[in-house]
A and B are shown apart, each in its own frame.
Chain A
Amino acid sequence: EVQEVESGGVVVRPGGSLRLSCAASGFTFEDYPMHWVRQTLGKGLEWVSLISWDGSSTYYADSVQGRFTISRDNSKNSLYLQMNSLRTEDIALYYCAKEIKDCSAGSCYRYFDFWGQGTLVSVSS
């Protein structure tokens, strides 16, 4: 059974730092790109960051570029998100998600087939 369990969400002060973790199991973690997606309470989904299967390539939403760093440790089946200079607008439920890149139909389609249960990040003075 595929599982992704996020942790690390707490209350931090504006300008503070936090590291989120996502422990994966039930699949060969090192074979897949992984993402962080966040959801503000009661609102929609915002893609945050992507890391390639080997960690060599990373991408960020403009809203977090320069403040957040995604990383992974394939030996520990774990994904991380280092969050610095936190702002009130970063308050959200953060999900890790596994990406599938399906090239079976001639074109390559990418989608998120499994998501963790989410970890809540709050920013308050």
Chain B
Amino acid sequence: DIQMTQSPSSLSASVGDRVTITCRASQSISHYLNWYQQKPGKAPQLLIYAASSLQSGVPSRFSGRGSGTDFTLTIGSLQPEDFATYYCQQSYSTPPFTFGPGTKVESK
């Protein structure tokens, strides 16, 4: 099975900061990479699919890049509602639909 890792596991940032989260796959997954946001007590919500396609309704400050094994999620200007945990997920070799361990974005 493909394994997913994320870095950092957590980060502290301020409103207005540019934030970048990295996700790495244990083997090439082309562009088959999704990003989800989860706020405390809530279900995950899809942000980006196919590595860089923004889900409908998601603010344009969120962007995704990458292919192969290395991917990034960038929040262009962090907003108060963006403090959450972010997960990547591979959909290249499925099942299983493996998730990364998550990156928690906290307020500095």
Which residues of A does B touch, CB under 8 Å?
35, 44-47, 50, 59-62, 95, 100, 102, 105, 107, 109-113, 115-118
Residues of chain B at interface, number, CB under 8 A: 26
The one of A50, A113, A117 that contacts B55, using a Cβ cutoff of 8 Å: A113
Query: With a CB–CB cut-off of 8 A, which chain B residues contact A50?
Result: 94-95, 97
> Is there a chain A Cβ closer than 8 Å to B19's Cβ?
no
* B residues near A44, Cβ cutoff 8 Å: 87, 99-102
Distance between B51 CB and nearest chain A CB, rounded to angstroms = 9
> What number of A-B contacts does a CB cutoff of 8 Å give?
67
Chain B residues lying within 8 Å of A46, measured Cβ to Cβ, are 99
Interface majority SS (helix, strand, loop, mixed), chain A: strand
Tell me which of B32, B45, B50 contacts A115 (CB under 8 A).
B45
Q: Which among A105, A115, A117 has the highest number of chain B CB atoms within 10 Å?
A: A115
A105-B50 contact, Cβ under 8 Å, with A61-B95, A111-B91: yes
Determine the residue in chain B with the shortest Cβ distance to A35: B97
Q: 11 A–B contact pairs at CB < 8 A?
A: A45-B87, A46-B99, A47-B98, A61-B96, A109-B32, A109-B50, A109-B53, A111-B34, A112-B34, A112-B36, A113-B46
